[in-house]
Structure 1
Amino acid sequence: MVNLPQLTLPDHAPVLSVVIDATPSADGRNAVVLDRWADLQRSVMLDGAEAVPRVDADAIAAALERPTWVHGPHGRVLIAADGEVLLDRVIPDPPTAGEAVLSDHPHALALAYAADAAARYLVVESDRAGAHLSLHEASAVMGSQLLHDREIDGDHDVLTKVRPSRDLPRDRANNRAEDSWERNAETVAAEVDRVMAQEDPDLVLLTGDVRSTAYVEEALGTHARQVLVDVPGGARTEGVNSRAFVAAVDEAVTGFRMRRRQAVLDHVEQEIGRAGAAVSGLEDVVDVLRRGQVAELVLDAGAVSSPRQRIAAHRLWIGEAPLQLGMSAQQLADLGVGEPRQVRADLALGRAAMDQAAGITIAEQLDVADGIAAVLRWTDAATPAETAFTQSGDSQRAHASAHAEEPSL
């Protein structure tokens, strides 16, 4: 499950959500990003608001003036309210088309992009005396953000093997040194396990002296070993870290993101294939969202980004409460909602998903009806039934999926 960022919102203030291409120009200048923001302000989606507050537009512009220092194409997600930027995250891939939404809550799909890019990882740079531990948050502006770091030194100081002598035979000298390495590694592993319990990072990246890393890995607890990745090229000695090591860390973090996303897709495929705890297609997903059953909302990337915005092309009806949503005004009337209004489907879906603390995953190839599925917390007799897909990969279900309603003018 990919958890959405948690934000503390000001009372009675609209929320501006922005997803933008943050790639600088070829000469590295950031002015092109500010130009994109100026263009994007002309097409802000106003959900129940009349205009973007100037303080919020200026806050976004001020944030975008600060470069990300990320090389190559990338995007940026920003959330602002009451003149303050509440979230500013880099995403690996720039959006096909930027988007800005002003609403009474953050745009859930913007949060989903930020959550997909995020990863918290602990770097353990080990030597025979101890280790340097540093906790990082990926996807932060200015590169990964260092959250905490500290030096860990063991109590055992016989670190080198010595020449044998009459007073200290070779085997005894070597055993004393290796025993010190092992005891110091146990001290490091205990600190790693403590950080795991308190901070719960997604990854532990272990690097440094080959002998010491082997001892550290052996002494780690089960949780740390489950998320451990050996990364070559790092060292505890200051100034030794190379570009190759930084690239290896980036590769490990990217691999984790891909595995996390694939695990969600595999779960969806398994549950739909056996008619289990998942549904697909807009109409069925709306049904289970309304009933508060959704653990994870899964969207095909092509269904939420231009030029194939299949989800945004639909309109749903909503009431004041986030779980008051339906395919038609009559559905809400049947629920006792007096004055429903029609909004873009992606806004209504995200609003309902956030209200029930559901995760949101945006996948590259989700081959289901309407490009949308949901993994469920629970099922009952009223849960929509799924049928298996054909071997040809046809994503149409046995019962027809909902068709997009034309937006009312």
Structure 2
Amino acid sequence: MKLDFLEPVVAHKGPWATVYATTGPADESSARRRELTWRELCRSLEEQGADEATVGAVRASLDGLEPGADTPGIALFAAEGRTVLTRTLGQPPAATEAIWSEIPRLTPLLELTQQRPGCLVARIDRAGADFRMHGVSSVEDAGSVHGRDRPPHRAAAGVWSARHFGVAGENTWAENAARIAQEVVRVFADSGAELLVLAGGARECHSVDEDLPLELRDVTTISWHDGRAAGAETDRLDASIETARLEHAARAAENVLDRFRAGRDASGGDPAAIEGVPAVAEAARQHRIDTLLITPAGPDPRRELWIGEHPDQVAVRRSDAERLGAEHPHAARADDALLCSAVAAGGEAFVVPGDGGDGSPAGGIGALLRWPVGEAERTRG
């Protein structure tokens, strides 16, 4: 899972107030329950030592929420008297809680959003396409592209020069399909999406799909339930988008675990995957983490690491953190400390569901590396 949406949090100084809460429906009885819940969350932050300004920012953000069926949960991160990041959740969190800590509590957010990878939807007809970005917690317009509209269709049979106009219509559509595909590539790269859905007529979608580069076609799904026309089957398209997201997340999960098993068990070569908190912490210091793997049910995510002022100052012992230049080391959960380091280094992360099973990182923490572990690193480790 891409982590760029967490960059505002990692770039900001702590300590942090992290809140996970269920918002509930927008009715009178739920409003009363929310008021009591917000009050209890803020009281909890005060008891944990949060400053008045940050607690006030949390309360203001909670009061400003608009609950409804589309936002069953919320994740909120605040520091130094302001809310830095708010994410609406597609499902309620496992627990409503408020945490005051040196770094934000991030793993539950990844666990809740991993099943909803960013998805770019292109609604296509023969004259162009409209784009919408389905993000982790919102849907936004992402622009459009318009092709030539004359002649967009075949001429009727029997009309003078029908063959000429029919060929011209096909040539126009071929040009439009290529233009739409070119814009799809650009918008997809800018959006940060992991999945592409082409919606519209079968012929139009397949024509655009054929003009896409192979790496983008590998993450493309075609839906015939909607196009650009008024009255299109929006509900059926929404359902197909959610199905595509779930299927993409499942494929991505299996791919990550396959790569981890192959990299860890490399025979006759240097391992490209590691496991265990000490080894992953060393990789984080060297900016070598490509993808961080976390199994929340394992013991290692709850282990203690020592962190400094910079995300790559992570160590198993306080004295090691001081040797890395940390002036005032703090203890932190291993999963959150390593996640912050991965975000800062441009890495990705994957939360392994359940207990992970065979082939997942022993203890619950592992990583795919940007370059393999050589003999010198193994000996030193």
Q: TM-score range by the shorter chain?
A: 0.7 to 0.9
For each residue in 1:259-300, what CA deviation from the matched residue of structure 2 results, as whole angstroms up to 9, or x when unmatched? 333322222121112261111123332343344432222111
| Rounded Cα–Cα distance in structure 1 between residues aligned with 2:73 and 2:47 | 22
TM-score by length of 1: 0.75
Is 1:370 the equivalent of 2:366?
no
Does the CA-based 8 Å contact 1:288-1:383 persist in structure 2?
Answer: no
1:314 to 303, 313, 338: 303
Moved more, 154-163 or 315-324: 315-324
The one-letter code of the counterpart of 1:327 is: V
Residue of structure 2 equivalent to 1:150: 144
Runs (5+) with no aligned partner, structure 1: 304-309, 386-398, 400-409
- Give the secondary structure class of the aligned counterpart of 2:237: helix
- Following TM superposition, by how much is the alpha carbon of 1:207 offset from its aligned partner in structure 2, in angstroms? 1.8
Q: Secondary structure at the match of 2:375?
A: coil
Q: Is the 8 A contact 2:25 2:68 kept in 1?
A: no
Change (3 A) 1:151 1:384: same
Name the residue aligned to 2:276. 281
For the 8 Å contact 2:42–2:55, the answer to whether it is kept is no
**Cα RMSD for the two superposed structures:** 3.7
Say which of 92, 97, 121 aligns to 2:95.
97
Aligned equivalent of 2:83: 85
Shift of 1:244: 1.4
1:135 equivalenced with 2:128 (yes/no): no
Q: For residues 54 and 150 of structure 2, what CA distance do their matches in structure 1 show?
A: 61
Structure 2 gaps, min length 5: none
> Which residue in 1 is equivalent to 2:236?
244
> Structure 1 CA distance, aligned partners of 2:80 and 2:326?
30
CA distance in structure 2 between the aligned counterparts of 1:342 and 1:197, rounded to whole angstroms: 38
Instruction: Output one character per residue of 1:177-217: Cα deviation in whole Å (capped at 9) or x when no partner.
Output: 43443333233223323324544532221121233223222
SS state at 1:195 partner: helix
Percentage of identical aligned residues: 24
CA contact (8 A) 2:133 2:191 kept: no
In the alignment, the residues of structure 2 paired with residue 325 and residue 212 of structure 1 have an alpha-carbon distance, to the nearest angstrom, of: 52
Q: Which residue of 2 aligns with 1:265?
A: 257
1:153-302 matches, cutoff 5 A: 153-165=147-159, 167-168=160-161, 174-199=166-191, 201-274=193-266, 276-302=271-297
SS in structure 2 at match of 1:183: helix
- The C-alpha deviation readout for 1:20-64, integer Å capped at 9, x for no partner, is 33454899945545544444444449998666723222233124x
Name the CA distance, whole Å, in 1 between partners of 2:152 and 2:330.
Answer: 74
The equivalent of 2:338 in structure 1 is 349
Distance 1:325 1:13 in 2: 16
Is the CA contact 1:117–1:138 (under 8 Å) kept in the aligned structure 2? no
Provide the C-alpha distance between the structure 1 equivalents of 2:304 and 2:283, rounded to a whole number of angstroms.
17
> For residue 2 of structure 1, what is the amino acid of its counterpart?
K
Structure 2 distance, partners of 1:12, 1:330, is: 22
Give yes or no for contact 1:91–1:113 (8 Å, CA) kept in 2. Answer: no
2:17: which partner in 1?
16
Opposite residue 314 of structure 1, the aligned amino acid is: R
Kept in 1, the 8 Å contact 2:73–2:89? The answer is: yes
Mapped to 2, the partners of 1:255 and 1:30 lie a distance apart of 35
In the TM superposition, what is the alpha-carbon distance from 1:246 to its structure 2 partner?
1.3
1:403: which partner in 2? none
- TM-score, normalization: structure 2? 0.80
Contact between 1:16 and 1:79, CA under 8 Å: does it hold in 2? yes
> 1:258 corresponds to which letter in structure 2?
A
Aligned length: 371
Give the match's secondary structure for 1:60: helix
Deviations, residues 339-371 of structure 1 (Å, cap 9, x unaligned): 654444344333443443432221104333221
Aligned with 2:229: secondary structure? coil
Counterparts of 2:291 and 2:105, CA distance in 1: 16
Distance in 1 (CA, whole Å) between partners of 2:368 and 2:94 is: 27
Task: Say whether the 8 Å CA contact 2:155–2:165 is kept in structure 1.
Answer: yes
Distance 1:153 1:270, change over 3 A: same
User: 2:245 is matched by which residue type in structure 1?
Assistant: V
Identify if the C-alpha distance between structure 1 residues 374 and 98 changes in structure 2 by more than 3 Å, giving closer, same or farther. farther
> Aligned partner of 2:353: which letter?
E
